[in-house]
Amino acid sequence: MISEQASGNVKQKFSLTRLLRENQIAQGLFLISPANIYLFIFIVLPLILVAGLSFLSRGTYGQVEFRFDITNYTRLFDPLYGKILLFSLGVGLGTTVICLVVGYPLAYFLAHAPTKQRSLLLFLILLPFWTNFIIRIFAWMIILRSGGVLDSLLQWLHITQAPLNLLYSPTAVMIGMVYEYLPFVVLPLYTSLEKIENSLLEAASDLGAPPWKAFLRVTLPLSVPGMIAGTILTFIPSMGMFVVPDILGGAKTILIGNVIRNQFLTARDWPFGSAASMILMLLTMIFTLYYTRKAGFGEELLV
């Protein structure tokens, strides 16, 4: 048994390990602390700094001056930036909706596929997305540019005569965004649909519902958690996206993400960029809170 004549130091160390052994709360705190500390330093602090920065002003040479300035925020509601803001929301929304519409049938198909084939089919959907995302957007550049693959194909098929000039347009950006976020919608939808027990549809049929009605009244509502998860995974990141507009959109198509990026790298107006970031964050949080309060976080899909 433990000797009680230990020196002061040993006795102290003994109680710390004993505390960790016996006390559940101590164990929990010990385990969560590294994450909490790390995330506080590298996530919370930086965000606080940005928040503070958003109220300061830009000096003549791009440095930050400690002058309180609210114009960073008011500038955002200028017609110029206001338009960009609305456009970003529109693109985000549009991407999400298109992804849901395009992705739902695919998810349905997967959920109904023979079990043996399912993991292969899923794997095939995921495979391209393990490659670097910039590479994939670049591929669309090749396809969409004037005289490129798409143009050549359409002209060869005699559907069009002249090049379409798709690249560097909002259309190209949308195509790129949908391409990018499709799996984020298909996967949660698939998980949700897959969980619907066959017996429910059999019961609906037994009670007199034709297949289309069964779909509308049983399948669709039950797939809502998947739709929610898919929406969260698509809409939020799409609002901050700047890579796709950068590569496929050219100078004509700018989203809020591009604005922020420019403020920090080229225009060197950090306070303004911070303000734009704060607004973006706010929009994101409102959206997330509203959605998750209404319909949960979709965690049940993880299990």
Q: Are 122 and 190 in contact (CB under 8 A)?
A: yes
Q: Which of positions 48-67 make contact with other proteins (CB under 8 A)?
A: 49-50, 53
What is the signed CA dihedral for 98, 101, 102, 107, rounded to 10 degrees? 140
Interacting residue with other proteins among 89, 93, 97, 106 (CB under 8 A): 106
Instruction: Tell me the closest approach of the beta carbon of residue 74 to other proteins, in angstroms.
Output: 20
Q: Which of positions 112-171 make contact with other proteins (CB under 8 A)?
A: 112-115, 123-125, 127-128, 130-143, 145, 147-149, 152
Count of residues that interact with other proteins, criterion CB under 8 A? 92
Q: Are strands 57-58 and 64-65 parallel, antiparallel or unpaired?
A: antiparallel
Q: Are 163 and 151 in contact (CB under 8 A)?
A: yes
Q: Which is nearer to other proteins, 68 or 123 (CB)?
A: 123
Q: Which is nearer to other proteins, 7 or 303 (CB)?
A: 303
Q: Is 58 helix (H, G, I), strand (E, B) or coil?
A: strand
Q: Is 61 helix (H, G, I), strand (E, B) or coil?
A: coil
Q: Which of positions 179-198 make contact with other proteins (CB under 8 A)?
A: 179, 182, 193-194, 196-198
According to the binding rule CB under 8 A, does residue 270 interact with other proteins? yes
Interacting residue with other proteins among 236, 244, 254, 275 (CB under 8 A): 236
Give CA–CA dist 241/243, Å, rounded. Answer: 6
* Span of 6-14, 38-46, 67-75, 166-174 interacting with other proteins by CB under 8 A: 38-46
Instruction: Tell me the closest approach of the beta carbon of residue 190 to other proteins, in angstroms.
Output: 10
Distance of CA 241 to the CA centre of its chain: 9
Instruction: Tell me the closest approach of the beta carbon of residue 274 to other proteins, in angstroms.
Output: 7
According to the binding rule CB under 8 A, does residue 284 interact with other proteins? yes
Distances (CA, A) of 13 to 2, 24, 225: 13, 18, 50
Q: Give phi and psi for 280, each to the nearest 5.
A: -60, -45
Instruction: Tell me the closest approach of the beta carbon of residue 170 to other proteins, in angstroms.
Output: 19
Q: Which of positions 1-30 make contact with other proteins (CB under 8 A)?
A: 21-22, 24-25, 27-30
According to the binding rule CB under 8 A, does residue 104 interact with other proteins? no
* Span of 8-16, 36-44, 74-82, 93-101 interacting with other proteins by CB under 8 A: 36-44
**Residue 57 bridge partners (DSSP):** 65
If 0-12 CB within 10 Å is exposed, 13-18 middle and 19+ buried, where does residue 97 land? middle
The helix (H) or strand (E) run that includes residue 65 is strand 64-65
Instruction: Tell me the closest approach of the beta carbon of residue 158 to other proteins, in angstroms.
Output: 18
Both tokens of 49, joined, read: 């700094």
Q: Which of positions 239-258 make contact with other proteins (CB under 8 A)?
A: 239-243, 247, 257
* Span of 5-13, 76-84, 165-173, 279-287 interacting with other proteins by CB under 8 A: 279-287
Both tokens of 258, joined, read: 């591009």
